[in-house]
Structure 1
Amino acid sequence: MTTRQLTTEPTTTTLTKFVDPLPIPKRLRADPADPLPSFTIRTVAAELRLHTQLPPTALWTYGGDFPGPVLDVHRDQRIRVTWTNEVTTPYPAVNAYLADAPGNPSLAMNDPGIGAAQPVPGTTGLPAWLDTHLHGAVTGGGNDGWMENALLTGDSQLAEYPNRQPAMTLWYHDHAMNITSLNVFAGLVGMYLLRDEEEDKLGLPDGEHEIPLIVCDRNLATDANGALTGQLLHKTTGTLPFLGPYTLVNGRIWPYLEVRPGWYRFRLLNASNSRTYRLHLLDEKDNQVTAGAVWQIGTDSGLLGAPLPVGSAGLTLAPAERADVLVDFGAFRGSSLRLVNSAQAPFRGDPLPPGVKPGDPLPADRLPEPDVMQFRVRAERLHDLVPLLRELEPGKSGEERDTVASGHGFRLPETLSPSYYRLTEQRLPADPVQRVLGLAADPDGTLGLWELQEVPATEAPTAPGQVLDGIIQVTGPTGVTTTYQRVARHFDDQLNWRARMDEWEVWQILNLSGILHPIHIHLIRFQPLSIDAYDTGEFDAALGGTATGKPVAHLAALPIDPSLTGWKDVMRIPPGTSVTVAGQFRGAAGRYMYHCHILEHEDAGMMRQFAVMPGAVMDVGRGMGGGMGGGMGGGMSGGTGITSTTGTTGMGSM
């Protein structure tokens, strides 16, 4: 396929919305009678239509489909997956770099005034070097998809997943070093559903009433006549990662789904490289947000304790976040509903501007097309569609038969997961290992993960106004100022953090940059303990630190959104905030990664490594006895660290 200068994309889409039915990914189910079910999933090149009005698009896929098949397994059922690389074609997308234009008021992806985009040298000749990571899995380091152990064509990656985890929505994607953003963009994503008895007892909508919704954004190249070629266009700028104008759900641009007027369960995944979605369901009769129809029942890593209504503020999903959602279409017979995105980009958590409603385009904020997909609710009463129900329930009224037919009599339960508990400082063991992490721009403009260690007061720099690279001072909520020294920031720096198996850790993450970062920690699930606002204006990115006596200062404790109180493996860290999370490193050991899940940031250096080891092994080693840097102490969390009044009661339910 050929393209002309990449700035000649149409300023508005030429594609018609809601003409393609939503594809439903294939399912691979594990036989419960098989002691070790085995699957082979081949990564192959394929040409698939992303929209009826487009030519076929070249992709790299799992099993020939985009997205790949849904793996559907049960808790404690170990499975073996062979990921076989059979890709023989060159990287299928145009990878282009668009230089910054400081004087341009708009950075919308289709703005022709920004300037000519230039193809990135070398990417057209990239080999199919692939590596699959099961995101959110508790599995040994050798099965986790270490990014430098990627495969060339003809090789296979053998992985075993014990599935000793509660019911949750996982997903798998490519994780190859330096090129994760490109390989995922090319199509290498898929969903993985894990079930357990606790979930089974709820009688949630299933079968055709349980539907994966894998959402992502893409851009498309054009030919010499300005027509869309179907070829993917990965266009970025010098400071911003990829953001595309076309939204895909399950591999189709702006699809529709015909539903019955009853309950549905949607397994939502944001599989975008960098775009955050704030989702709203609009009734097309009046373009108003629906009330009382949408309920969140789960987060990244499991069910909530009770259903959470999704109100007018919408449901926010940063890259790699998942949400388990129930929607009751019973009140919308004969209506059409639109799922829309209202998140400005780059997303910082800001509300919509005054006068702007969900569904309004925001081209100046890189959201030229807010539509995601359409739901078409059938007009018929369900009991008229199910004659058998009349024979089985002859004494039921029409309304009662409707209820039974729409989701098998499903009623929204008051309690979802009896094993769920809200993690608090009091539920942690005494003196957990504490880590301190900064998200900051380096003097050269690249982003890093700053592992920080407290500096004793006797060793802290004292010269008034002095700024030293890697030295920052932080004043916490108690007014105590602590000095920290950066001990690592990029992937190849020294390994500092070794966790003991089964030990609880508290990570305090301070965002010194100007944008939101979704931070993913491999292996574990966690919950936020606190979110605090900080004045980061004194942090000097050009010099890499703060001046003595001019610390980053605590402003206020912030409320934690209820949608973030479930078990997570991705945490949004807004700019100017410190988010404290806690989790237990249990179930597996090895070397793992934590990183920003904006994939262009990950590839550019926002990724670090850590190791998990049995405690007895650490005890016989030298210099492996504990965590780096102690805690934030008075610097950020206030007080002398986190203590416990209840010990570890109930911790086994993780």
Structure 2
Amino acid sequence: MENQKTGISRREFMRRAGLTAAGAGGVLLAESALIRGMTLFAAPKPPPAGQVPLPGNKIPQFIDPLPVLDLNPQSTTGIPTVVAGANELVLNMHTFKANIMPSTWAAANPGYTGTWTFGYRVNEATAPGTVETNVGPVIVASRGTPTQIRYVNNLEASANTIHWRDWTDQTLHSAFHQAKDAMMPIPADAQAHYDGPVLAVPHLHGGEVPAVVDGGPEAWFASDVPGNAAITKDKGPAYYSKAGAAANECIYTYPNSQEAAPLWFHDHLLGGTRLNATFGGLAGAYALIDPNLTLPAGLHPVGLKRGETIDYLIPLVIQDRMFDTNGQLLMPNVGVNPEHPYWVPEFVGDTIIVNGKVWPYLAVEQKRYRFFLINGSNSRAYDMFLQDTTSGIKGPRMWVIATDGGYLDAPVLIDPNANGQQIKAGQQTSLMMMPGERYEIIVDFADPVWRGLLAARGIRFPLNLTLRNTAPTVNGNPKASTEGRIMQFRVSTVAPATDTSYDPASGIALRPPMVRLAGVAQAKTRFLTLNEIVGAGGPLEALVNNTKWSGLRHGMGGGPPEPIPGSTFVAPNWLTELPNEGDTEIWEIANMTMDSHPIHLHAVQFQLLSRQPFDMKAFMAAYDMAFPGGMFMPGHGPPLPYSPDLDGYDAVLQGNKWGGNPDYTNFLLGQPTPPLAYEAGWKDTVIMRMGEITRIAVRWAPQDVPAGTSGSFPFDPAAGNGVYVWHCHITDHEDNEMMRPDQIQPKTGATRDFEIGTDF
């Protein structure tokens, strides 16, 4: 069947790649026959040896309460929470056990004493005993007050951490070959798992920080535990720390100069982010508040203020997992192609966990609550709304108040009961999130509109509510009884009291109007692509602008690897995206895969301008013809000269844009669509759908610099020759080449008050 949006069918997609007769023995395709595509073969993969899968439908639901904030930094029962100040914080990365599985399941399986996992712990030099959740901590930082964190890598790779032991893949371009100072892939170890100490690097996702403390993929450092004999280097080529760090540490100081925003931090290891962060557990929230920002009455910088001491802010870190019959993490580790024996293109679990608990519940009053949502999954998207568990009636409504980069100008309504006319007018009925995205929402569990709907239908109140998910994965639509459920809310029977917190239904503005970049003159427009390379068994790797992480491609005529023409060497890679500090650029990105990708840019927040379908079949034909010999060349980089200063650049053919790709104008379909109302704020991660051109405005400067002006950061963004990255936040993709380094070129003469070697 032909996809009506892209104009290309699965059969045509395979035919163009020569995939009509792959042998039963898994014959590999020649590189010229590889294609961009989707996860064509999504059948469940075998578990690691010795593990028996525990189906998600065999795990009890809504048994244990949701872990919430605990102001005890060493809490073992809640999410450790710390208010950052002038003193240095110490975050220890440890291997420990957490009670992820439901207590009734644990009681029926007396051998279960917790699930082995990774996690950050505050000021704990030794690993804790069994805790209730490995999620966290939550750090509350204030704008204008820098936060210094000493990250200590005490992670252990042992028989307990099965996901690390059995899922590392040394055929990926990764930190593993860097630690062994070996070429990639490691020929002698291609079929073996990495056997050295755990490597890690923390990244402040969404942070406006100097590149050297951004926590990039090559800034890793090794744990100081047995296993170091297996490696020859204990630090990555981009490692940096403020003075005073031990061998297994780095010290990062964040300026906290940006607008208030719901940030998070997680591991970002090259080739191992899916292992350490989204599956392993190295992730926490970073709530950056602005005490000087005027908010409407009843809306506190951290939460919804009720009295003098209570803040009703509740983080919801939503993830999916698989478990074995012992209650331990299980990761399928049989690759779809022999080139990558253990890499799975998109991990999808059959069990949902929130804040480190399998299908928890939260008891709520008939009041308003503020939630900080983080999609921390490997690849799963969540399309969410609330629903009465018993009657199936949808609601109450949700109000989005903040995006990745901070507050919206005004709340945006999500109404699951909107009628057809309202939907046609743009009313959203659910909230869609892909990995890496964050939103803050307010839910009124005494929503008068919803209560009126219930009364009209004769439905009792209060109710048990389910947070539902309807987003499909590579395996199809979620099963309503398992992956279609995220958590439960149990509404109190107590009659509602007066709620003096901020009511988003009032329409009162959340903040002074944010700076808008639409219509601002741009220094340049880049037209880039998303590509997926597929072999006989399915995806081999995914790329941005058909370019590998290193910026190298196969030499013409079988010669040695050579850099993409026009790229600049910033050790150890070749870079093509080198924006100037203060410039506003338009990035137009064509998704030529058959999957959606959450694309994330480090260093800055940007704004989504529009999405527009294009004739993917026809454009791909023109794209292929632009390559030497008229045939697509995987990993070759763009087919045409990247920038106007290069020989052979054709302004007409390339639409006068940077990026090295043929102009798409004649292949556009329909009209551009604006961002969804809840996307119309500052974003650092945005969904780019298949068969669409997504346009974003990227200003390489602080958010609050007035529109139409340049501006500069309070720090040199390239100090220490540091680089940032941009990538897909499906961690399985970014671990296998769908990521590129970039460097902001600092503005000459800019005033800096946050200096390398002194402040960071």
Shift of 1:410: 8.5
- In structure 1, runs of 5+ residues without a counterpart are 98-119, 222-226, 353-359, 383-401, 453-467, 470-484, 619-654
Tell me the equivalent position of 2:341. Answer: none
Tell me the equivalent position of 2:161. Answer: 92
**Cα distance in 2 for residues equivalent to 1:550 and 1:201:** 46
**Cα distance in 1 for residues equivalent to 2:469 and 2:352:** 10
1:284 pairs with 2:389: yes
Contact 2:606 2:698 in 1 (8 A): yes
Tell me the equivalent position of 1:503. Answer: 583
Shift of 1:500: 1.6
**Cα distance in 2 for residues equivalent to 1:9 and 1:240:** 19
Ranked by relative contact order (alpha carbons within 8 Å, sequence separation 6 or more), the top structure is 2
The code of the aligned residue for 1:127 comes to P
Tell me the equivalent position of 1:385. Answer: none
Contact 1:215 1:271 in 2 (8 A): yes
Q: Deviations over 1:89-120 (max 9, x none)?
A: 437134668xxxxxxxxxxxxxxxxxxxxxx9
The code of the aligned residue for 1:168 comes to A
**Cα distance in 2 for residues equivalent to 1:142 and 1:131:** 12
Tell me the equivalent position of 1:215. Answer: 318
Of 528, 532, 542, the match for 1:437: 528
Equivalence map 1:431-470=2 (5 Å): 431-442=522-533, 445-450=540-545
Of 325, 339, 342, the match for 2:467: 339
1:49 pairs with 2:142: no
Aligned length: 519
Contact 1:451 1:487 in 2 (8 A): no
Of 15, 20, 45, the match for 2:59: 15
Q: Mark the CA change 1:550 to 1:186 in structure 2 (over 3 Å): closer, same or farther.
A: closer
TM score, norm. by length of structure 2: 0.63
Shift of 1:529: 1.6
Q: Mark the CA change 1:278 to 1:561 in structure 2 (over 3 Å): closer, same or farther.
A: same
Shift of 1:603: 0.8
1:328 pairs with 2:422: no
Of 174, 199, 206, the match for 1:129: 199
1:379 pairs with 2:493: yes
**Cα distance in 2 for residues equivalent to 1:617 and 1:407:** 46
Shift of 1:595: 0.6
Shift of 1:76: 1.1
Equivalence map 1:504-583=2 (5 Å): 504-538=584-618, 539=620, 543-544=632-633, 553-559=667-673, 560-583=675-698
**Cα distance in 2 for residues equivalent to 1:236 and 1:370:** 26
**Cα distance in 1 for residues equivalent to 2:577 and 2:532:** 21
Q: Which moved more, 1:604-613 or 1:150-159?
A: 150-159
Equivalence map 1:127-526=2 (5 Å): 127-154=197-224, 155-184=248-277, 185-196=279-290, 197-198=292-293, 200-204=295-299, 205-206=304-305, 207-221=310-324, 227-235=325-333, 238=336, 240-291=345-396, 293-312=397-416, 313-331=429-447, 334-346=462-474, 361=479, 369-382=483-496, 402-404=497-499, 407=501, 412-425=506-519, 428=520, 430-442=521-533, 445-450=540-545, 494-526=574-606
**Cα distance in 2 for residues equivalent to 1:4 and 1:174:** 23
**Cα distance in 1 for residues equivalent to 2:597 and 2:48:** 34
Contact 1:436 1:451 in 2 (8 A): no
**Cα distance in 2 for residues equivalent to 1:433 and 1:280:** 39
Question: Aligned to 1:178, what secondary structure does the other structure show?
Answer: coil
TM score, norm. by length of structure 1: 0.73
Tell me the equivalent position of 2:21. Answer: none
The code of the aligned residue for 1:215 comes to I
Shift of 1:87: 1.7
**Cα distance in 2 for residues equivalent to 1:236 and 1:515:** 21
Tell me the equivalent position of 1:615. Answer: 747
- In structure 2, runs of 5+ residues without a counterpart are 1-46, 69-78, 107-111, 122-127, 168-189, 225-247, 337-343, 417-428, 452-460, 548-555, 558-563, 625-630, 641-652, 654-661, 702-712, 751-760
The code of the aligned residue for 1:338 comes to T
Shift of 1:130: 0.7
Shift of 1:257: 0.3
Shift of 1:413: 4.5
Shift of 1:288: 2.3
Question: Aligned to 1:435, what secondary structure does the other structure show?
Answer: strand
1:601 pairs with 2:749: no
Shift of 1:409: 8.3
Question: Aligned to 1:133, what secondary structure does the other structure show?
Answer: strand
Shift of 1:58: 0.7
**Cα distance in 2 for residues equivalent to 1:557 and 1:604:** 34
Q: Mark the CA change 1:228 to 1:202 in structure 2 (over 3 Å): closer, same or farther.
A: farther
Q: Mark the CA change 1:166 to 1:42 in structure 2 (over 3 Å): closer, same or farther.
A: same
Q: Mark the CA change 1:311 to 1:234 in structure 2 (over 3 Å): closer, same or farther.
A: farther
**Cα distance in 1 for residues equivalent to 2:693 and 2:569:** 20
Shift of 1:75: 1.2
1:28 pairs with 2:82: yes
**Cα distance in 2 for residues equivalent to 1:416 and 1:199:** 8
**Cα distance in 2 for residues equivalent to 1:518 and 1:27:** 28
Contact 1:403 1:409 in 2 (8 A): no
Q: Deviations over 1:46-72 (max 9, x none)?
A: 111102224211111100651121000
Q: Mark the CA change 1:446 to 1:373 in structure 2 (over 3 Å): closer, same or farther.
A: same
Question: Aligned to 1:537, what secondary structure does the other structure show?
Answer: helix
Contact 1:296 1:326 in 2 (8 A): yes
Give me the identity figure in percent. Answer: 27
Contact 1:80 1:158 in 2 (8 A): yes
Contact 2:586 2:697 in 1 (8 A): yes
Contact 1:131 1:149 in 2 (8 A): yes
Shift of 1:177: 1.1
Question: Stretches of 4+ moved more than 6 A in 1?
Answer: 408-411, 485-492, 545-552
Contact 2:407 2:510 in 1 (8 A): yes
Q: Mark the CA change 1:92 to 1:334 in structure 2 (over 3 Å): closer, same or farther.
A: same
**Cα distance in 1 for residues equivalent to 2:153 and 2:736:** 25
**Cα distance in 2 for residues equivalent to 1:443 and 1:346:** 15
The code of the aligned residue for 2:266 comes to H
Question: Aligned to 2:683, what secondary structure does the other structure show?
Answer: coil
Of 75, 79, 103, the match for 2:143: 75
Shift of 1:233: 2.5
Question: Aligned to 1:231, what secondary structure does the other structure show?
Answer: coil
Tell me the equivalent position of 2:627. Answer: none
Contact 1:449 1:490 in 2 (8 A): no
Q: Deviations over 1:351-376 (max 9, x none)?
A: x8xxxxxxx726xxxx9521100000
Question: Aligned to 1:344, what secondary structure does the other structure show?
Answer: coil
